[in-house]
Copies of this chain bind each other. A is one copy, B any other.
């Protein structure tokens, strides 16, 4: 049983009764107030009676053709009206404001290598929507962080969350053409070992070399991959500092314009992928739907 300690219990009367009173005071009619409130005249009569009994004084005088406010009612009505105006305004602002700001949290690489180029087209399509982009390497907990949508990688199953697959988190070595030329070209996987390996501890290297049939026990091992922070290694690779193992979908542009080359068709895949996720319960929130639809369409291109 809770105690009644902290703060004086305001002991406000039933709020529903006050809302009804507000409508009646504006209309000076039970019947018309009932119309506005979408309830019956009897219900309005009941609520007013409740309020009057709670206050201990009548709020309206029942005259033949109409009702009029008593002195008590006249004192109460303006304040109630103001309070509900504030409430309604704030509520509308929150709905509007919440609709106008979209918080997307994503891993860095996806933001810089994929989203950044295309976000403009989303904002043109939805000029009323402001997008706040946050990057974080940790998984997003929607209950704990303020985010509407997250881009995360994983197996695609999270309880309570709806997930749309964007693309596979595959991996394959990439390097700058200049670096490849420096050793006369990269012809077969083993050639890579003659070059600096960027982030050799990444488990992806091990998996890829195994798949390629290359013995690579001299590479350090780390429990995870650097997925999500590929942008750093990619920059190093473009600068010619070494070979990086990267996800193709994130470097389409670099591969297309020749800043990076993918020497082998062999692509590793540990079953993980990039996903767009959001709480199931919010699946129909307009701004979330807008972003989801836009992003999936872009991915499909």
Contacts and interface: CB of A to CB of B under 8 A. Distances in A.
Interface string A26-60: 01000010111111100000000000010111100
B6 A57 contact: no
Contacts of A55: 91, 94-95, 98
A89 B78 CA distance: 12
A285 B90 CA distance: 37
Interface string A84-100: 10111111011101110
B143 A62 contact: yes
Interface string A255-269: 000000000000000
A9 interface: yes
A91 B4 CA distance: 20
Contacts of A79: 86-87, 89-90, 93
16 contacts: A2-B39, A4-B38, A6-B35, A6-B36, A9-B37, A12-B19, A12-B91, A15-B15, A55-B91, A56-B95, A56-B285, A58-B142, A71-B98, A76-B91, A78-B90, A83-B86
